[in-house]
Each structure stands twice: as C-alpha cells, then as structure tokens.
Structure 1
Amino acid sequence: MKPIRSTNPRAANWWHCEQIVRVLSVGGVVACPTEAVWGLSCHPWDEAAVADLLALKQRPAHKGLIIAASTPDQVAPLLEGLSTEARALVEGHWPGPVTCLLPDPDQWLPAIVRGQHRTVAVRVTAHPVLKQLCERMGGPLVSTSCNPAGRSPARAHWQVRRYFGTALDGIMPGELGDERRPSRILNPATRRWLR
C-alpha cells in the first residue's frame, strides 16, 4: 500500500483505515501493528479469507486462531456462558495484551477459526490501530502473528514485506505497542496461564 503525504497524521491514519476496511470487507488479508508484533488479520466470518490467511502462514487449520475485538460487547456471545467470577476475571484483563480462552458452545465463530478446540482465543485490544480497525469493521478480526509457521513474528515493516512480499492485500501503517512478547493466554475456567 502506497503511503500518502499529509501534515495531519490523524487524516492520514483515517484514510489508511478506510482503505484497509474496504479490503477486509471484500475478503482481504492484511498486516496490522499490534501490542507486541505485527499481526495478520481478516474477517473471521469470511471462511475463504481465513483459509487464505492460514495458507499464507502455512498454519494448520486444526490449531485455531486468535480474534481481537475493540470492546467486550463485540464478543458478547462468547461471554454469556461464563460464570460471574470467570467473566469478572476476563474483563479485569481487558483491554490489554491478555488472550482468554472462551467457550463457544453455539458455534458463533466458524470451525476454521476455532480449529479443533471447543474454546476460542479472544482478546480485547488496547492497541489504537487494531482497535480502530475493529471499531470500523463493527466486530472482531482475526489477529495472528505475522510470520510463516516456524519463523519469528515480524517486529518491523520490512520483516512483513520480507515474509509476504506482495501476497498481502494491504498493510495498515502504525507503530507496535510497548509489549515485548505476544499476548499471554489465560483459561478463565481453570484460572491457569497457558503462555
């Protein structure tokens, strides 16, 4: 995606966001900065887009994917089955770099997103760029590390390009957050940290 010249960073960011939203809306796969590393995103209910993302990453579908939302309301169906205590635990870590494993008994998300799991990995992001994209899309997005399987996640724009060249449908400009490692993973049902 060609950078635009603007003396107003907010205007530039708005323009890029609108372009990326258009790409996501028609089944594109994009790279986006997140809390710690660059991520790959697509619309989670567009199964062809999710399959394209998995193929780019060379990631087996059975492993499942993380989704990111801008607010807990965007993933409300996944919160309904939690106990009061588990929900308080989850929402106490959001927004932020904590991914929670939430049950999806009604199969709200497609199987290609869940993989072989009965839970879905979800975080409510505090990263301004990813948050803005979720807000403009009106719902959560797939958010998985930007790297082929077995390689280190991209931490710079040039790494995104080196890994995927022109195979991506867009790259959302922005800076990474202050986290040094990908999000921690919590199972609120057991209160165990898995990463």
Structure 2
Amino acid sequence: MANIVLFHHAQGLTDGLKRMAAAFERAGHTVFAPDLYEGKTFPTVDDGVAFAESTGFDVINARADAALAAAPHSTAPHPRVYMGFSMGAESAARHAQADPQTAGLILMHAAIDPAWMPSPWPAGLPIQVHACDQDPWMEFDALAALRTETEKSRPVEVYLYPGETHLFTDDSVPEYNAVYAQLARTRLLKFLEEVS
C-alpha cells in the first residue's frame, strides 16, 4: 500500500483525475490530491496554462506546500509516492526530492531535468515516466537529462506511447486514449506494488 500525493495538470483537478485517484484507492492505496486551482477546471491545456500564469506559479506552489503541510498523509506509516501530471510534475518532483519518506516518483506526460531542482537529485529513487513519443508539451531534453542522472543508480522507467496526444490518461478530456490509459494504469499499479 502506498500513500500517493497527486498533483493535477494545467486543466485542474478534473473529474478524470478524481476517477483515477478512486481507482488507485480501490486497489488499496490512499490518494491525496490537492486542488491548487480552488475548484476551477478548464476545457483546454492552453486555457489552464493561461490561468496558471495569471495566478502565478509562486502562488500555486505555495498552495501545494500549504496543502501538504496540513495533509493527513503527512503522518501516515505507508511509503509515499509523488505523482505529477504535466504541469504538476514540477511540484511532485520538488516534494519527492525534499521528503525523506519518498518511496517513488511518477511523472505523467512530463519530465523533469534534475538540474532544475534546488538540491542534488536523490540517488536510487524509483521513477516512472509516461508520455506520448511526439507530445508537443513534453520536455524530451529534460527526459534525456533525467535518464543520464539516474542511469548509474536506478534507471528511470520510461514508457513512450506512439502519437502526439498529451493527457491521454484523463478520461474527462478530449485527448483521452482508453487503450493507452489502461496500459499505463497496469504499469502504474505494478510500480506502486514494487515501491510499497
């Protein structure tokens, strides 16, 4: 059993992400998914990014920090796994790096260059990445840097799916791909079992 901390993507904490969280809970895990947009969701990635930029990433990061500080998962005994979707990947990686109880990091539709982080990347941290291989929002240079950083301790698990689709695991957005989402879910559940 893992305690999953899920950071939503630019379109907000959508119904699709809530259903995914519920599926993880049915599998025996706990999920804490802070709503950094305070209830707002957006129909497109562009709309969500515009809202995030107008709100300010410093404000969004501060909301994430405050939510985690008050969260019930903070004293739970089970291994903690941080999971970030697209825009949420940065928050997931930042908290995973800072939290000594971190058991794993999952990056959905995103990658993080360890050089972006405020302190050295933790060696041996289990990491799984899911994205389409031609996703225009995906930072493939960051993925290459992450692979280089982790190859000598515990190589990052990378799953690339054919196509340009971005948020293919969220069943509430038009980009949803049921086949890819099911395959990703199987791989995610296996990862969670391994790290917990």
Q: Give the TM-score normalised by structure 2.
A: 0.30
Q: Which of the two has higher C-alpha Rg?
A: 1
Identify which of structures 1 and 2 has the higher relative contact order when contacts are C-alpha pairs closer than 8 Å and 6+ apart: 1
